[in-house]
Structure 1
Amino acid sequence: MNDLHEITHPYSPGAQKGPDSYLLVWDAPNLDMGLGAILGGRPTAAYRPRFDAIGRWLISKADEAAAAQGEPVEPEATVFTNIAPQGADVVRPWVEALRNVGFAVFAKPKIDDASDVDKDMLAHITRRRDEGVLRGLVVASADGQNFQPMIEDLLEDSIPVTVIGFHEHASWAVTNPRFDFVDLEDIPGVFREPLPRVNLDALPDEGAWLQPFRPLSSLLNSRSGANHA
């Protein structure tokens, strides 16, 4: 089995075509929001995802693809994140830890709604596909509106796709039989402690609090207002 290593597919437009890739794209803003909703606040150390465990899981996926095609397939993982104004010092240790594990990081200033990393994630996937090196894709996100059209295109090209996230927030992926969904908590070693999750189908007799996904004040910056599922 391969060891975790430095990424050989930098996200620069002029980078050379690399070897066959099993690509993980991690939507940090989306998954952070989902984890915060489950926990009801910012995660403590026990509830922060362990990216070394995620990396080993991805390596196993790449090894399976390599065995199936009889040629090497490299695991490639990139975390996409926004950096809030004056937030670099807070985020820097996390970014450096990710890079030390073997994840690339694409960081973008969070200036307004248009500065989200959604388009950058899709562009990275498109580039790998157009290079002809994409042998599998893992999308870590509950954002079906952003990713589902791309996923459908890749499936038409017989490229396997897995979505990882939290089943409470990704019904579009959980119920789709065309690709695999893996709950993040089901990947071995990702969390040190079980998440305090609330299942609407098995609520405790005394009831349970479900925290909002975002503060009400976020409506002031939204042109469309609240969207109803």
Structure 2
Amino acid sequence: MTTVSDIHESTHHYSAGAAPGPNSLLLVWDAPNLDMGLGAILGGRPSAGNRPRFDAIGRWLIQRAQELSHVTGERVEPEATVFTNVAPGGADVVRPWVEALRNVGFAVFAKPKTDEDSDVDPDMIAHIRRRAEEGVLKGVVVASADGQNFQDTLDELAGAGLPVTVIGFHEHAAWAVASERFDFIDLEDIPGVFREPLPRVNLDQLPETGAWLQPFRPLSALLNSKH
């Protein structure tokens, strides 16, 4: 398990990212993971029209930072960061989205997706660790359902007294929903994030007529999978 001392030690080897600033409520947005979760709910690849609105997320984060400032008696600034991969030949497709994020006020960490080991997971953890080492981290918000990567670090930060929030879809983040150490907020519950309600099916509250659950991927994908 990652400890707070481990977090401090590892950050000495991490040099990317912005310079230390004021007290920070840090949002780390796991774009590949949330994109996959949204696609599972929609039954296909999300389009521009049904992706989350980052201006709404930014306003929500600002409000949280103001509330944290009031509680702590210290000025806390929101810091919004999106981590994403860029597939070979996909720069032209991703560029407008990245520029829109930066225009809203989000920093973006983009990494080429060359193989299975080039995910942004370690970069997200490293950024959280660096802010913890700098002593400016006053709260952290992780937008992801990936408990395998985040849970240990978030448990340790919460145990050290930092307020921790996880944003995601409750269908895919049981580890966060059930945690007593930090808060969970369903992405759809943040005002204005989605233009239209998501077509979600809750197995605990199925309609009497039943509901279709579409496959996450086509059967033909089995032809390329490893045995």
In the TM superposition, residue 13 of structure 1 has moved relative to its aligned partner by: 3.2
TM-score normalised per structure 1: 0.87
SS class of match (1:114): coil
Bigger mean CA offset, 11-20 vs 195-204: 11-20
- In the alignment, what sits opposite 1:16? 19
For residues 114-135 of structure 1, the C-alpha deviation after alignment (integer angstroms, 9 at most, x for no partner) is 0000000000000000000000
Contact 2:43–2:216 (Cα < 8 Å) also in 1: no
- Sequence identity, in percent? 75
- In the alignment, what sits opposite 1:180? 183
- In the alignment, what sits opposite 2:213? 210
- In the alignment, what sits opposite 1:156? 159
Cα distance 1:78–1:221, how it changes in 2: closer, same or farther (>3 A)? Answer: farther
SS class of match (1:77): strand
In 2: Cα distance, 1:107 partner to 1:218 partner: 30
How many residues get paired?
Answer: 213
Contact 2:53–2:193 (Cα < 8 Å) also in 1: yes
In structure 2, runs of 5+ residues without a counterpart are 1-13
Cα root mean square deviation, aligned? 1.9
For residues 20-56 of structure 1, the C-alpha deviation after alignment (integer angstroms, 9 at most, x for no partner) is 1000000000000000000011223442100000000
- Of 157, 171, 174, 2:174 maps to 171
- Does residue 1:118 correspond to 2:121, yes or no? yes
In structure 1, runs of 5+ residues without a counterpart are 1-10
Cα distance 1:47–1:73, how it changes in 2: closer, same or farther (>3 A)? Answer: same
In 1: Cα distance, 2:31 partner to 2:40 partner: 14
- Of 104, 109, 118, 1:101 maps to 104
In 2: Cα distance, 1:30 partner to 1:14 partner: 21
TM-score normalised per structure 2: 0.88
